[in-house]
Amino acid sequence: MAEGQPHLSIQMSDLNTNGIPSRKQCSPDLASRGGSVLTFHNICYHVKMKTGFLCCQKTANKEVLRDVNGIMRPGLNAILGPTGSGKSSLLDILAARKDPHGLSGDILINGAPQPANFKCTSGYVVQDDVVMGTLTVRENLKFSAALRLPKSVKEQEKNERVNQIIKELGLSKVADSKVGTQFTRGVSGGERKRTNIGMELITDPAILFLDEPTTGLDASTANAVLLLLKRMAKQGKTIIFSIHQPRYSIFRLFDNLTLLAVGRVLYHGPTQHAIEYFQSIGYECEPYNNPADFFLDIINGDSTAVAMSKTDKTNTAESTEECTEYDKTLAEKLAEKYSNSVYYQETKAVLENISLGNKKKTKAVFRQITYANSFLHQLKWVSKRTFKNLVGNPQASIAQLCVTAFLGLVVGAIFFGLKEDSTGLQNRVGAMFFLTTNQCFSSISAIELFVMEKKIFIHEYISGYYRTSAYFISKLMADLIPMRTIPSIIFTCIIYFMIGLKPTVEAFFTMMFTLVMVSYTATSMALAIAAGQSVVAVANLLMTITFVFMIIFSGLLVNLTSIMSWLSWLKYFSIPRYGMTALQINELTDLNFCSSSNNTNLISNDNYRQLSQPWCTGDEYLKNQGIDVSSWGLWQNHLALACMTVIFLTIAYLKLHFMKKFS
């Protein structure tokens, strides 16, 4: 081996009779440090894939993992492999976060079956950061401590735990700084990743899982994160993580390496012996080559980067032609060589001893989630964070209030000073149509309520932070009250007096209540459509199309009494119709538009005859539109809006509750 080659050395005395490094000599029993040992036995995983379009779709089983075995001891356990090798699937299976359908095999913790709530007691750091950017580092950690530590732990002890983690992770300087959002600058990428890790360390888990912990980080920051994990591993934690292509300074920190390709294990054992193992089967790493790159080159059949043994060099030209693309056959051959190696035989022998007497299957209990605190405690903290997020990210709320006030002034100026004549009737109806339509379309912003935080919700729900109901109610409290009620009140106060509507207290508050109800119902429909969606644009399109059809049946664009019977039933699903009908009954009842002072103008001037005929009273106009002018006619519209709100909210909750939360 050339001088300066970045290989971890091994003595000849450490090799067994077959020339393969002896695991007994090179792999110290890390379990003696007091951490947990995770073993996985004969893991196989299949998923159903749909191909084709619509009626021509076919379902086929895709093999993701096949006969995967291994031992993860306290220390840094890396799962390495190219894209599509199954490393993220294996990580999720070990962490009990994969859909158990299509999964077979056993996972044991210290020789015992995996606990039913393992996903809640272990730590899992997802690839994409899932911290609330509008909160500080300390506030995010306190949120995790408040919900994941039992209520029996005193507040002072929780704060001490948070301070300890901040110190251990080197976050003291930024502890009271906001993590940062797309609108506001926050902490650095490395500090953000450490905050994610800190939220999982609150419960002091014996096993910590990380999915691609270096993704999105520069080389120096990624190295710092792995050094942090190395220090934690030396304290006895079992750290298991997937990684794609680490630099050498990171690779050398690994204690144990699992190399995957096409769902098969190509190597599983001590990291420092991986190079010698591949050398023993005919692959020699070039001097100064990064071992991680070397392994991926082997898997991909890149012969230009692999110096092969003498026995294989004669086949170089042939292999170059065969391996121009990803060679699945080559990966399977490497997997077969590993299954015949001493490494695999020793691992298999250890696994058989551990699993002896433990025949219980563990996949059936993957879905169980336990909570450390009561529903009310969860609701309190989730609501507290939601309102902090609203205050800490005021751009959307302030913008909506400003737009509402500006729009109210514009509409008030357009319809200013309505008179009790035919133009006044037309303008009143037009103003009410605009008010209800505006309330509907302004509610489209609610679709972001669940879509933007979908990843955070899924991660925290699976980890046992809170129940779906606590999250759902807290979101309603934070959105419906400030974002829907207040703008409706402002809108009513501005336009009511500028337009000059019916000057009675009852009519004023009835109009305000109607606009609030329309806003609530439209928002509830937005939540029902958006819940479970991953793309805001899709939910936005569905909402817009739905409202357009609802507006057609609102009662202004077409006389509802003239619609054909086989289409007229659609009016019962129109939110604007109920709102506009209530507003018209509230405003037009008992109004006279044919007083002696304007009766002559009404007959002689065609510009005033915008409607099909001049009605002298509002009651006549309402009857012509098929509207019940009784007091029950007013409140039945409010009752219909209330019922639709309850139905839509129920749909939204059920979609959120039964949303696929496992990959």
Dihedral of alpha carbons 220, 224, 227, 229, sign:
negative
Q: 628 in the Ramachandran plot: left (φ > 0), alpha (ψ -120 to 50) or beta?
A: beta
Q: What percent of the chain has a predicted confidence (pLDDT) above 70?
A: 84
Among 147-156, 157-166, 284-293, name the one with the lowest average pLDDT.
284-293
- Check residue 597 and give its pLDDT: 47
Mean predicted confidence (pLDDT) in 34-55: 79
More confident residue, 365 or 562: 562
Q: At residue 22, what are phi and psi to the nearest 5 degrees?
A: -80, 125
- Check residue 200 and give its pLDDT: 92
Contact 201, 167 (CB under 8 A): no
Q: 64 in the Ramachandran plot: left (φ > 0), alpha (ψ -120 to 50) or beta?
A: alpha
Q: Looking at the predicted structure, is the pLDDT value of residue 433 above 70? A: yes
Of 635, 638, 612, 637, give the one whose Cα is nearest residue 625.
612
Q: Give CA–CA dist 162/542, Å, rounded.
A: 43
Q: Looking at the predicted structure, is the pLDDT value of residue 658 above 50? A: yes
Mean predicted confidence (pLDDT) in 415-421: 82
Q: At residue 261, what are phi and psi to the nearest 5 degrees?
A: -155, 135
Query: Is residue 18 very low, low, confident or very high in pLDDT (cuts 50, 70, 90)?
Result: very low
DSSP SS3 for 49: strand
pTM of the predicted protein model: 0.81
Question: Over the chain, what is the mean pLDDT?
Answer: 81
Q: Which helix (H) or strand (E) holds 313?
A: helix 310-313
Q: What percent of the chain has a predicted confidence (pLDDT) above 90?
A: 34
Of 227, 256, 252, give the one whose Cα is nearest residue 241.
256
Of 637, 611, 633, give the one whose Cα is nearest residue 427.
611
Tokens of 391: 């205050």
What is the CB neighbour count within 10 angstroms for residue 331? 23
Tokens 């309402």, residue located: 622
Q: Looking at the predicted structure, is the pLDDT value of residue 387 above 90? A: no
Residue 596 Cα distances to 522, 588, 593, 602, angstroms: 42, 19, 10, 10
Q: Which residues pair with 103 in a beta bridge?
A: 45
Query: Is residue 454 very low, low, confident or very high in pLDDT (cuts 50, 70, 90)?
Result: confident
Residues 6+ apart with CB under 8 A from 372: 147, 148, 149, 150, 151, 464
More confident residue, 129 or 461: 461
What is the CB neighbour count within 10 angstroms for residue 239? 27
Q: Give CA–CA dist 50/107, Å, rounded.
A: 29
Mean predicted confidence (pLDDT) in 90-116: 88
Residues 6+ apart with CB under 8 A from 296: 81, 82, 245
- Check residue 644 and give its pLDDT: 95
Q: Give CA–CA dist 627/606, Å, rounded.
A: 26
What is the CB neighbour count within 10 angstroms for residue 117? 16
Mean predicted confidence (pLDDT) in 635-658: 93
For 586-608, write each residue's pLDDT tens digit.
888 877 777 544 444 444 444 44
Q: Looking at the predicted structure, is the pLDDT value of residue 6 above 60? A: no
First to last CA, the chain: 44
Within 13 Å, how many C-alpha atoms sit on residue 530's CB side?
26
The CA-CA-CA angle for residues 502, 504, 505, to 5°, reads 130
What is the CB neighbour count within 10 angstroms for residue 523? 28
Q: Looking at the predicted structure, is the pLDDT value of residue 111 above 60? A: yes
DSSP SS3 for 560: helix
Dihedral of alpha carbons 447, 451, 453, 456, sign:
positive
Among 176-180, 571-575, 602-606, name the one with the lowest average pLDDT.
602-606
Mean predicted confidence (pLDDT) in 509-537: 90
Query: Is residue 32 very low, low, confident or very high in pLDDT (cuts 50, 70, 90)?
Result: very low
